[in-house]
Amino acid sequence: MKKTNLDEWICETEHVPELTRKTLEAIQLKRLNLLLERARNTKGHYENLPQKLNDLDELKNLPFTTAQMLGANPGRYLLTSQAEVARVISGATSGTTGPAKRVFYTQTDTEHTVGLFQAGIGEMAQPGEKVFIAMPFSGPFGLGDLIAKAVERLNAIPVRAGIGLTWDQQKQILDREQPENYIGFPVPLLGLARFCGGTFPLKRALVSGDACPEGVMAELERFFPGETYPHYGSREMGLGGAVTCPAHAGMHLRENHVLAEIVDGDGNPLPDGQWGELVITTIGMEAMPLIRYRTGDRTRFLAEACPCGGVTRRLDRISRMCPGAVDMEQLDSRMFRFPQIVDYCVTGMEDGLRVRVSVIGAVTKKEILDALQTDAHVQIVPCGPGDLPFYPGKRYIRQALPE
């Protein structure tokens, strides 16, 4: 089996002939200490941390950074001048409370992201093939544009679909362009596959941008057997973080740029194989590196070696840590087992949940209530070609139902 492209990309980026755990950990410690020195000299949020660590295990003694801290004063985490900033992502993500976060990137940061995307997309897309990109296009350094640049470097052809299109508009692009590959959010892809009835040209899919619950993943496998490639990333880690290899046995982590830990509810590090919260230290970021940032995402390190022979550690599936009584990912797994459901959305109200379900075919309110396993006001509507997906991005409990 072919080894993950990520190993090769790390070798090229770090100018090493072969990647081993010893080589990789030496790169990590050197880069971590350079980060600590920069942070101390910049007099920002991390100025009181030690200037040097003797080994990677000492990282666990440093304090955490949280989303609330980052949102309250993002400028104190910036380690470059404003003139060096090429891109700023600002705004609250779904499910985020407190001040909106602002994350800064230099041109080198975005270049590293393109390189990682190229490695990940290269696991599925072949030269000359088309790639349907259902991600936001917001300018030269936006997510969609960085993905398109990576596709072009693979000598493949980007189809810049973006988001905000109706089901029929997406189908028309598929019919016209005949792309073999898809990059986008998992649930909208499932909805599109069901709307099209499975008669579409897509053969392989890289799903990212949101958690992909087991139930949704199982349904996607019906359309893309053995050809679904989950990817994990976040704005805090430079948009790209971990990619799936041909073994489809977890997501290989970008370890030359990201130190990752899994911790329990009290912040104690957990061994490989145990589920907990993902904590990241972004040693490869120029503009805004973060130290021990609590992502709020739940996963684990896979303990066994990857069948592909890759060196980098692998993350299992990712889920958002949901403190409330209703978990959107659980609802997704329950609801999308009905093949008639194209999409649905949930609103949290004082008198219970309100659920609007878009369907092709027949499904009853009783069946939906049984699947939800909670009291709810259910509205079932037929899916029309002019309808939009209910969520342009991450799925969450909404404050109001769409018109």
To the nearest 10°, the Cα dihedral for 73, 328, 138, 295?
40
The model's pTM is: 0.91
Relative to beta strand 314-315, strand 319-320 is unpaired
Q: What is the pLDDT of residues 246-268, one digit of tens each?
A: 999 999 999 999 999 999 999 99
41 Cβ neighbours under 8 A, 6+ residues apart:
none
What is the three-class DSSP state of 122? coil
Q: What is the pLDDT of residues 199-228, one digit of tens each?
A: 889 999 999 988 788 889 999 999 999 899
Q: Identify residue 56 by its one-letter amino acid code.
A: L
Q: What is the pLDDT of residues 53-63, one digit of tens each?
A: 999 999 999 99
Q: What is the pLDDT of residues 134-187, one digit of tens each?
A: 999 887 778 899 999 999 999 999 999 999 999 999 999 999 999 999 999 999
- Tokens 């189809």 correspond to 159
Residue 95 has a pLDDT of 41
Contact (Cβ atoms closer than 8 angstroms) between residue 115 and residue 8 = no
